Structure 1
Amino acid sequence: MARRGRGAAGGAGRKLTVTVRSARRRDPASTRWLQRHLNDPYVQAAKARGYRSRAAFKLIELDDRFRLIRKGARVLDLGAAPGGWTQVAVERAGAGGTVVGVDILPAAPVPGATLLQGDLTDAEVAQRAIAALGGRADLVLSDMAPNTVGHAATDHLRIVALAEAAMELALAVLAPGGAFVCKVFQGGSERGMLATLKRHFASVRHAKPPASRKESAETYVVATGFRPGGA
């Protein structure tokens, strides 16, 4: 790799731009991805602030806009690995908060949080998460996305199925007035999910935080004002 300096936006010092040289064993697309990743300001900021992923800034931006995480809140983070959203939830909920993360993949411990490994569709895993919260959740987060197979229609259906599983758990564990944030992707198959959310929440909006890459089809559903039993 070669590095060259350039002026940062706003004149705040200098920023290093990393140029990735092609390697015989790396295809051009991988080289382009690596260069974009290394020069991504959110990647650099995550490293500087000790966050485990650039995705931490998506939650920061969503919380700054919608005021989702109050001090002392009980937060359930679905698809928590590697832990970037969990770190933000711990910071913002504060010492009196309770943060529980669940993922099918292992993740290193996050100070101040309880991390559980397992499939959230497994009733036993869901019960363990509820027990760890010590009460109903004020906020359920889901930044989950399934492994894709490369077939757009199939991938979208799998994404929606995962989002619906997160929604069903949220409806079961949220306290009155609670909130649910879930990653979805642009497409028509989430209409049923949105109709359900509108019955159970006072407000349902879509948001694409600045940290979400422009070329990505991802967006987030932000549902607030949970009403048990629906409207």
Structure 2
Amino acid sequence: MAKKKFSKNWIHQHIQDPYVKMAQQKGYRARAAFKLMEILDTEKLLRPGQFVVDLGATPGSWSQVLRERMKDADGKVQGRIVALDMLPMEALPDVTFIQGDFREDEVLAQLQQIVGDQRLDLVVSDMAPNLSGVEAADAARIQHVCELALEFAQQHLKPEGALIVKSFHGSGFSQIVKAFKGVFERVVERKPKASRHQSSETFLVGRGLKSSIE
């Protein structure tokens, strides 16, 4: 009964959510679009002509935002967007999509093959593992996903490139921040307005790769 009541409350809140309404009005596939917009605006990231990888892309709202930000004055997308997710994603113009689990070597190899020797300007990750409710296990899963995104970014970003990753406050968060600070010159935490107050999600932004030789 309690679970049913919770579900009804969630549905009511979701329907009344101003960001859900705005997403529907503007044609975004999810309210998460506004989280990325705020981070890109605050950090002054992304412009036409750049190369971006979107991890955990489905349903595609972040890729939609990336497309918009990479259009030139004539409305033509300049640059390249590669998106990846375990779940299928409805096709988006100008976006190369890979379906697969980023944690699997063969999927990662496929992504690396597409990227090739080109260096990336930006990697964004809205990936979140399936959570069990067991704090220690969930913390380990979250940390693993963040570390995979961090490792990929470290290998493929331009020296001045940036990484945006979704994480969660709680057990293991300080270790993730520490790992970021080991890789990037500047690390900040962002909680966009579109992020629900009751959610522990926090976005980490790393900018400027540190030299491998300290």
Query: TM-score, normalised to structure 1's length?
Result: 0.84
Question: SS state of the match for residue 64, structure 2?
Answer: helix
Q: From the superposition, tell whether residues 92 and 199 of structure 1 become closer, same or farther in structure 2 (CA, over 3 Å).
A: same
Gaps of 5+ in 2: 72-76
**Match status 1:202 vs 2:155:** no
Q: Distance in 1 between matches of 2:144 and 2:185?
A: 23
Q: Report deviation, 1:29.
A: 1.2
SS in 2 for 1:57: helix
Conservation of the 8 A alpha-carbon contact between 2:166 and 2:204: yes
Q: Which amino acid aligns with 2:51?
A: R
Q: Which has the higher contact order (CA 8 A, sep 6+)?
A: 2
Q: Aligned runs of 1:124-139 on 2, under 5 Å?
A: 124-133=106-115, 135-139=118-122
The question of whether the paired residues in 2 share the 8 Å contact of 1:79 and 1:144 is answered with: yes
User: Could you tell me how far apart the structure 2 residues matched to 1:196 and 1:138 are?
Assistant: 20
TM-score, structure 2 normalization: 0.90
CA distance in 2 between partners of 1:129 and 1:141 (Å)? 14
Larger Rg: 1
Alignment coverage as a number of residue pairs:
207
- Give the Cα–Cα distance (whole angstroms) in 2 for the partners of residues 225 and 166 of structure 1: 15
CA separation in 1, counterparts of 2:70 and 2:140? 33
SS at 1:100 equivalent: strand
Residue equivalent to 1:66: 43
Q: Distance in 1 between matches of 2:130 and 2:105?
A: 22
C-alpha deviation, 1:188, in angstroms: 4.2
Aligned-partner SS, 2:38 = helix
- Structure 1 residue 153: deviation in Å? 2.6
Aligned mates of 1:44, 1:230 — CA distance in 2: 49
* Aligned equivalents of 2:133, 2:144: Cα separation in 1: 17
Alpha carbon RMSD of aligned pairs, Å? 1.8
- Give the aligned partner of residue 77 of structure 1: 54
Look up the SS of the partner of 1:27 in the other structure.
Answer: helix
> Partner letter of residue 218 of structure 1?
E
Residue pair 2:185, 2:207 contacting (<8 A) in 1 also: yes
Give unmatched runs, 5+ long, in structure 1: 1-23
**Partners of 2:14 and 2:158 in 1: CA distance:** 38
Give the match's secondary structure for 1:215.
coil
Does the aligned pair in 1 maintain the 2:46–2:69 contact within 8 Å? yes
Q: 1:108-137 CA deviation, whole Å, 9 max, x = no partner?
A: 111111110011122332232233345111
How many angstroms apart in 1 are the aligned matches of 2:31 and 2:67? Answer: 16
- Determine if contact 1:141/1:182 at 8 Å carries over to the other structure: yes
Does structure 1 conserve the Cα–Cα contact (< 8 Å) formed by 2:136 and 2:171? no
Matched with 2:85 is 103
| Deviates further, 118-127 or 137-146 | 118-127
Q: Identify which range, 116-125 or 126-135, moves more after superposition.
A: 126-135
Amino acid at match of 2:148: A
Query: Which residue among 67, 71, 88 is the counterpart of 1:90?
Result: 67
Which residue of 2 is the match for residue 17 of structure 1? Answer: none
Cα pair distance change 1:41/1:78, threshold 3 Å: same
Pair 1:228–1:91, CA change in 2 (3 A): farther
CA–CA distance in structure 1, aligned partners of residues 22 and 93 of structure 2: 20
Paired residue for 2:25?
48
Q: Deviations over 1:51-101 (max 9, x none)?
A: 100001000010110012122111101100110111111111222111111
Q: Hey, what's the Cα distance between the residues in 2 that align with 1:108 and 1:159? A: 26
